[in-house]
C-alpha cells in the first residue's frame, strides 16, 4: 500500500513521516452557542487530508484518522468521567458520496475500542445546500434543517470533519437539545476560519 500523501510505501493510509510532518494534533478549542468544539488540526495545514472526502481515497484516510486520533481521544475522555453511563457518538449528517460517508467512518472507527457507542444515521439534513465558499449570511439564510431520529435523553459527542463558521454544529445541537440529548462536546478533525475557501 502507499501513503495517501507522499505515495511512499506504507501499511497505514498515511506513513510515519507524513504523520510527523503534517498531522500533529493542536487540539483547537472554540465555543459555538453553549457547545465546546474541539478540533485536532488547522484546516489549512491538513486540507489535503480533509478534502480526501471528495475522492475514493477518503475512505482509507478517514478510517486512519479516526482510529489514530478520534478513538484514543474519546477513550481517554471516557476514562476521565466519574459517572459511567453510555456515551454515544452522533455524526452530523452521514451523507454518502462515492460509496461511503466520511462522517460515518469517524463515528464507526471513533467508537472502536474507545468505549463510546456508535449511533449511525440519526441526524440528517433535509437541506443539502453546499456551504463551500459561502458567507456566514448565506449559511444562516439557508439552514440545514436537521431532523433527529435517535433516542431521547442520552449523552453524546457530536462528530463532523470540519468546523468553519459553526452554524452547522449550532443548528445540529439545537435539534438534539429538543430531544434532551446531553452533548458533552463536538469533535472535528479540522478547524477552518470563517468563510475562507471551504
Ligand atoms: Zn507519506
Q: Quote the ligand 1 centre to 45 CA distance (angstroms).
A: 15
Q: Quote the ligand 1 centre to 118 CA distance (angstroms).
A: 30
Domain annotation covers residue 81:
yes
Residue spans of beta strands (DSSP E) within the chain: 28-32, 35-42, 87-91, 117-119, 123-125, 146-148, 155-163, 182-191
Q: Quote the ligand 1 centre to 3 CA distance (angstroms).
A: 5
Q: Which domain holds residue 157?
A: 25-191
Domain annotation covers residue 12:
no
Domain annotation covers residue 61:
yes
pTM score, two decimals? 0.93
Count the domains in the chain.
1
Torsion angle, CA of 56/58/61/67, rounded to 10 degrees? -110
Q: What is the pLDDT of residues 117-144, one digit of tens each?
A: 999 999 999 888 888 788 888 988 888 8
Q: What is the pLDDT of residues 160-184, one digit of tens each?
A: 999 998 999 999 999 999 999 999 9
Domain annotation covers residue 14:
no
Question: Contact at 8 Å (CB) between 38 and 184?
Answer: no
Average pLDDT across each block of 10 residues of the chain; the chain has 198 residues. List them in order: 96 96 96 95 95 95 98 97 93 92 97 97 90 85 92 98 93 96 98 65
Query: What is the DSSP secondary-structure string of 72-106?
Result: HHHHHHHHH-SS---EEEEES----BTTB-HHHHH
- The enclosing domain of 95 has a CATH number of 3.40.50
Q: Quote the ligand 1 centre to 178 CA distance (angstroms).
A: 44
Amino acid at each position: 500500500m502507499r501513503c495517501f500523501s507522499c505515495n511512499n510505501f506504507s501499511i497505514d493510509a498515511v506513513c510515519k513521516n507524513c504523520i510527523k510532518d503534517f498531522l500533529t494534533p493542536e487540539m483547537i478549542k472554540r465555543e459555538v452557542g453553549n457547545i465546546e468544539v474541539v478540533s485536532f488540526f488547522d484546516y489549512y495545514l491538513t486540507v489535503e487530508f480533509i478534502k480526501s472526502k471528495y475522492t475514493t481515497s477518503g475512505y482509507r484516510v478517514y478510517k486512519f484518522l479516526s482510529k489514530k486520533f478520534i478513538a484514543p481521544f474519546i477513550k481517554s475522555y471516557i476514562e476521565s468521567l466519574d459517572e459511567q453511563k453510555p456515551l454515544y457518538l452522533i455524526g452530523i449528517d452521514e451523507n454518502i458520496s462515492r460509496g461511503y460517508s466520511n462522517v460515518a467512518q469517524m463515528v464507526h472507527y471513533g467508537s472502536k475500542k474507545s468505549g463510546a457507542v456508535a449511533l449511525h444515521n440519526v441526524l440528517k439534513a433535509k437541506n443539502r445546500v453546499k456551504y463551500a465558499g459561502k458567507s456566514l449570511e448565506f449559511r444562516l439564510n439557508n439552514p440545514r434543517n436537521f431532523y433527529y431520529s435517535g433516542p431521547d435523553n442520552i449523552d453524546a459527542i457530536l462528530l463532523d470533519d470540519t468546523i468553519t463558521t459553526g452554524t452547522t454544529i449550532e443548528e445540529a445541537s439545537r435539534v438534539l437539545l429538543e430531544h434532551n440529548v446531553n452533548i458533552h462536546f463536538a469533535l472535528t478533525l479540522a478547524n477552518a476560519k470563517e468563510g475562507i475557501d471551504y
